[in-house]
Amino acid sequence: MRTMLSVVLSLSLAIITAAAFGCASGTPGDTNGDPTGRGTITGTVVRDDSGKPIQGATVTLVTNTAPKTATTDAKGAFILTDVLYGTYTLNAVYSPPGTNLSGTAKVTVSAEAKNPTVTIKLKGTSGPPPPPF
């Protein structure tokens, strides 16, 4: 009985130690030796056909937890702060009445690229707004 209890306690201690020190690598939140483990993504949203910046586009950082969002300014610029290290997809959408533009981009935040910059090119349809009812 004592031997069984000793084995169970030893295994429990091993599992707790492994969990405390982490076993994963390359996943969002991996600090790669940097104690902060976070960065800032800056970027610009532009039209694919003309390269003109788009004001008012919504940019979403897709994560396993709560997504982060930002809205572009008059120059099409956005900032997403406090982003855990990892590789992410950014989705951008601009859809006022009569327009439906969207695009995606991949971005990596890491100790080597703590503050990456990205350009998202939007494609889709745009035209005059639909007539009122």
Asked if the structure places residue 4 within a domain, the reply is no
Which amino acid does the sequence have at 22? G
Asked if the structure places residue 42 within a domain, the reply is yes
Give the pLDDT of residue 5.
38
Question: What integer is the mean pLDDT of 116-126?
Answer: 93
Asked if the structure places residue 117 within a domain, the reply is yes
Asked if the structure places residue 11 within a domain, the reply is no
Element (H, E) at 78: strand 77-84
Give the pLDDT of residue 20.
34
Question: What integer is the mean pLDDT of 110-117?
Answer: 96
Which amino acid does the sequence have at 31? T
Say which range, 34-38, 72-76, 117-121, 122-126, has the weakest mean pLDDT: 34-38
Q: What is the pLDDT of residues 63-96, one digit of tens each?
A: 888 899 999 999 999 999 999 999 999 999 999 9
Rounded Cα–Cα distance for residues 6 and 12 (Å): 10
Which amino acid does the sequence have at 107? V
CB 42 within 8 A of CB 117: yes
Q: What is the pLDDT of residues 15-49, one digit of tens each?
A: 333 333 333 333 455 545 556 799 999 999 999 99
CATH of residue 85: 2.60.40.10
Asked if the structure places residue 52 within a domain, the reply is yes
Asked if the structure places residue 14 within a domain, the reply is no
Question: What integer is the mean pLDDT of 89-107?
Answer: 95
Q: Residue 65: which domain range?
A: 25-126
pLDDT over 80 (residue 12)? no
Asked if the structure places residue 100 within a domain, the reply is yes
Rounded Cα–Cα distance for residues 35 and 13 (Å): 25
Rounded Cα–Cα distance for residues 31 and 39 (Å): 10
DSSP code, position 112: S
Give the CA distances from residue 90 to residues 8, 56, 68, 84, in Å, rounded to whole numbers and listed in that order: 45, 16, 10, 14
* Total domains in the fold of the chain: 1
Asked if the structure places residue 2 within a domain, the reply is no
